[in-house]
Amino acid sequence: MKQKIYFKTFGCRTNQFDTQVMISKLSNHTLSTTEESADVVVINSCTVTNSADASVRNYISTIERKNPNVKVILAGCGAHSKGEQLFAQNRVFGVMGHSEKENIDLILKKTERFYQIGDLEHIDSTIVEEFVGKSRAFIKIQEGCDFRCSYCIIPYVRGNARSHKESDILSQIERLATNGFGEFILTGTNVGSYGKDTGSSIAQLLEKMSQIRGVRRIRIGSLEPIQIDDHFKSLLNEPWMAKHLHIALQHTEDTMLKKMNRRNRFATDFALFEEIASCGYALGTDFIVGHPGENESVWQEAIRRIEQLPLTHIHAFTYSKRDNTPSATMTPQIKGDIAKSRHKMLSDLVGLKNLHFREKHNTNLEVLLEQERAGIHHGYDQYYQKITVQSDEDLSGNWVFITQAEAQKEGNYAVL
């Protein structure tokens, strides 16, 4: 008998991809749209912070109320950190690790409780793509991370870095490009480590991708500063490189970078950012505010350095404790309201820098338009700046060239 399966995904884009891998392998079951009508609920869980664990536990309680007879299967990162405990407490029917995703069809047939955690060296044979409209596609090119940042649990639940097969990635891109996709965004847990295990590199992959007919623009989800080598730099002026890079710094003050066990330091980060910005790039970064040890003088120095950096985008995160990581026991902890106000200060400052960048880079924009409603289109230019384009024509999925846009506070605007 066909069972009805409901998938619940927590966490990041990688988890969303993983759910897609499972769905693509379902041949003997159907999808359910609600927990109530499902025979099985598969929770693709996140365990990045203590509160992520709490959300998964609360969700299990909600299902127990809504549909007490349903079988609950715990998958995802939380299966590796909390699976054993939840299984022992009889809160879930089964636990499956990351490596088991492609066996989902068989797993769903199990009639006895199971704990099938698998291994953390596996790499899926399925490369998942996610589409935005008809012309942008995200492609996952690797899994896992070899870094050991003090605050992060990811390497322990996703394993070390390993790359998808180059030939699989390229043939997938070729197929999508033939079907009209022009922009590709490379993603993964630690994208810049692509190829380290196979004698290749992200730069080599980019070069090969660029030779595929139809590939017009390539973006990279995120890179670590030390992954930007001379080969990569030699590609910066290529026309198919999006003129925006996201380079994860996490902090700008060296004592904090050491505490965080990061491999980057501010002096080299600054030189790198200046060099790349001088090639006309918009630059984004991740920053964690309120990590233990970020006292007032450290913070003042950090924000002064943010001011110096040629930054246009920021993903600011407020530090949140994750048990079983070195940071969880570090002191002094930073109070929530202080971290919150630092987060705001940082976002406001980079927001202003973004506006200044857009005021200077508001001509000759190459924009891929994604959605249209009542003549209003949205898209991103080569600098990863959001633009609203007004036009009577339906231009969704089209590349348009904007000779001049107006840099407004919330984003760019143009009429075509």
Tokens of 93: 């029917």
Segment interacting with ligand SF4, rule: CB under 6 A, options 19-27, 142-150, 180-188, 209-217: 142-150
Asked if 350 and 312 count as a contact pair (C-beta separation under 8 A), the reply is yes
Looking at residue 70, what DSSP letter applies? S
Least separation in angstroms between CB 155 and ligand SF4: 5
Distance (Å, rounded) from C-alpha 322 to C-alpha 51?
Answer: 8
Segment interacting with ligand SF4, rule: CB under 6 A, options 15-23, 151-159, 170-178, 200-208: 151-159
Distance (Å, rounded) from C-alpha 228 to C-alpha 246?
Answer: 11
Rank residues 155 and 292 by Cβ distance to ligand SF4 and give the closer one: 155
Does 319 engage in binding with ligand SF4 (CB under 6 A)?
no
Contacts of 11 (CB under 8 A, 6+ apart): 44, 45, 46, 48, 52, 76, 77
Distance (Å, rounded) from C-alpha 65 to C-alpha 84?
Answer: 22
CA nearest neighbour of 117 among 103, 89, 96, 101: 96
Distance (Å, rounded) from C-alpha 229 to C-alpha 287?
Answer: 22
Single residue of 17, 87, 138, 147 touching ligand SF4 by CB under 6 A:
147
Find the largest Cα–Cα distance for the chain: 65
Does 225 engage in binding with ligand SF4 (CB under 6 A)?
no
Least separation in angstroms between CB 148 and ligand SF4: 6
Rank residues 147 and 194 by Cβ distance to ligand SF4 and give the closer one: 147
Single residue of 21, 137, 154, 389 touching ligand SF4 by CB under 6 A:
154
Count of residues touching ligand SF4 (by CB under 6 A)? 9
Distance (Å, rounded) from C-alpha 387 to C-alpha 211?
Answer: 28
Least separation in angstroms between CB 192 and ligand SF4: 9
Least separation in angstroms between CB 261 and ligand SF4: 8
SS3 content of the chain, % helix, strand, coil (to 5): 35, 25, 40
Segment interacting with ligand SF4, rule: CB under 6 A, options 56-64, 85-93, 148-156, 384-392: 148-156
CA nearest neighbour of 273 among 322, 325, 320, 311: 311
Single residue of 76, 83, 155, 182 touching ligand SF4 by CB under 6 A:
155
Tokens of 354: 């973004």
Rank residues 86 and 161 by Cβ distance to ligand SF4 and give the closer one: 161
CA nearest neighbour of 285 among 255, 260, 306, 256: 306
Single residue of 44, 142, 189, 227 touching ligand SF4 by CB under 6 A:
189
Helical pair 266-277 and 296-308, crossing angle rounded to 10 deg: 20
Does 190 engage in binding with ligand SF4 (CB under 6 A)?
yes
Segment interacting with ligand SF4, rule: CB under 6 A, options 35-43, 145-153, 312-320, 353-361: 145-153
The structure tokens 């009889």 sit at: 90
Least separation in angstroms between CB 326 and ligand SF4: 11
Does 149 engage in binding with ligand SF4 (CB under 6 A)?
yes
Least separation in angstroms between CB 152 and ligand SF4: 3
Asked if 321 and 292 count as a contact pair (C-beta separation under 8 A), the reply is no
Rank residues 268 and 278 by Cβ distance to ligand SF4 and give the closer one: 268
Q: What is the CA radius of gyration of the chain?
A: 23
Least separation in angstroms between CB 154 and ligand SF4: 4
**What length does the chain have?**
416
Least separation in angstroms between CB 225 and ligand SF4: 11
Distance (Å, rounded) from C-alpha 263 to C-alpha 248?
Answer: 11
Rank residues 142 and 354 by Cβ distance to ligand SF4 and give the closer one: 142
Does 383 engage in binding with ligand SF4 (CB under 6 A)?
no
Rank residues 217 and 262 by Cβ distance to ligand SF4 and give the closer one: 262
Least separation in angstroms between CB 186 and ligand SF4: 16
Question: Under the rule (CB under 6 A), what is the footprint of ligand SF4?
Answer: 145, 147-149, 152, 154-155, 189-190
